[in-house]
Amino acid sequence: MKRFILPVKQTRAFLSSTTARLAESYLLIIMLMSIGFSLVLYNTSANQLGHQIPPHGLTQQASPNNDQGKPQDDNPALDHFFHQRIAEGRTALRFRLLYLNVGALLVGAVVSYYLARRSLRPIEQAMDAQVQFVSDASHELRTPLTAIKAVNEVALRNKKLSLSNAKNVITQNIDDVERLQALAEGLLMLAKQDKTKLTYSAVALQTIVGDAMTQIIPQASNKAITVNDEVANISVIGNKAALEQVLVILLDNAVAYSHPKTTITLQTRIKGKHVYLDIVDQGIGIRATDLPHIFSRFYRGDQSRSASEKTGYGLGLSIAQRIMLNHDGAITVHSVPGEGSTFTLKLSSAG
């Protein structure tokens, strides 16, 4: 599938400049803190050094004549010595704090860049996925749109277009529009699968299965396919509408990829806190080369294209998988080409 190289490059360029800006902000915070601490440290230490000068009188020169009760002068040499030592101490402190801040700047720059990259990585991945999704969707939309345009252009150029020809063109247009509608619904469904927006509660599995079967029975009857419901009376934790949709997708596929007059069976198994629901068909099966890809968006097995009348877009199983992951459950498949497939849903028991 053709990928959109340009938007990905632009996204990366945008992100790298965002990384730089975020790293700058982190570095600014680190440096403000480091300089702030240094100033406080300097002031406190400089004051402390100032207190090292002995009080007046202690630096007086010891004099044998000092016995007339008048105040004595400080010893200027000793005073000078103390002041010089204090000035040296303050200069040394200033240099140490300067080196410390230069070090903080260098280490901070590396740490800031690392933190900025780490913060932006999930956003980068989400954006890549978004770009890929839009690119895949546009690619899928282009094919039916091109077909519609071509059919209408040919009809328009035909000066002797009869009423029945025109009706054929309109019928084809309606078919294509219906397919586009299905694609748009599928894409919307994928985009809507937001775990946080669904409510989860205890739901009877038989109700979900029953409601899904009601939607599929007409298609199954058209192919004289029997659907056996052997689901046990168990409740699971989930969102009813979403789980029903998973079953409709799986049953729809089971009917579409099965030969007429075959059987589809739904069975349950309980293991610990989990309920396993198997949807077993006797259809065309899935080739080993297709199996790793069938849950990917827009993936369609070649065999299914030729053997089934279904004109899907390869979105059903990816929607089903997304719903199951939102339920902290799973969807797995076991298939033998020519014999049939078994899709298994793993759900949490409400019991």
Q: Which residues bind ligand ADP (CB under 6 A)?
A: 253-254, 257, 281, 283-286, 290, 294, 299-301, 304, 310, 312-318, 341
Q: Which is nearer to ligand ADP, 200 or 343 (CB)?
A: 343
Cβ atoms 120, 15 nearer than 8 A: yes
Q: Tell me the one-letter amino acid at 68.
A: Q
Give the Cα-Cα-Cα angle 330, 331, 336 (nearest 5 degrees). 145
Distance in Å, CB of 284 to ligand ADP, minimum? 5
The SS3 of residue 306 is: helix
How far apart (Å, rounded) are the C-alpha atoms in residues 38 and 33? 8
Pairing of the two strands 235-238 and 274-280: unpaired
Nearer to ligand ADP (CB atom), residue 237 or residue 264: 264
CB of residue 256 vs ligand ADP: minimum separation in angstroms? 7
Give the bridge partners for 333, in sequence order.
343
Closest CA to 253 of 183, 346, 190, 315: 315
Q: Which of 38, 335 has the CB closer to ligand ADP?
A: 335
CA–CA separation, 291 vs 293, rounded Å?
5
Question: CB neighbours (10 Å) of residue 343?
Answer: 24
Give least dist CB 331 to ligand ADP, A: 11
CB of 247 to ligand ADP, least distance (A): 13
Residue 117 makes CB contacts below 8 A (sequence gap 6+) with 19
Our CB check for ligand ADP shows the closer of 302 and 328 to be 302
CB of 249 to ligand ADP, least distance (A): 6
| Shortest distance in whole angstroms from residue 305 CB to ligand ADP | 7
- Would you say the C-alpha torsion 302, 250, 230, 262 has a positive or negative sign? negative
In the bound state with ligand ADP, the residue whose beta carbon lies nearer, of 144 and 301, is: 301
Do 320 and 249 meet the contact criterion of CB atoms below 8 Å apart?
A: yes
How far is the C-alpha of 17 from the C-alpha of 251, rounded, in Å? Answer: 48
Q: What is the rounded (10 degree) CA torsion for 266, 268, 269, 270? A: 160
Nearer to ligand ADP, 275 or 317 (CB): 317
Residue nearest to ligand ADP (CB): 312
Record the tokens describing residue 293, joined without a space.
């890809």
CB of 325 to ligand ADP, least distance (A): 15
Least distance between ligand ADP and beta carbon 129 (Å): 18
* Helix orientation angle between 205-222 and 240-256, rounded to the nearest 10 degrees: 30
Decide whether 240 or 310 has the Cβ nearer to ligand ADP. 310
Looking at beta carbons only, is 27 or 212 nearer to ligand ADP? 212
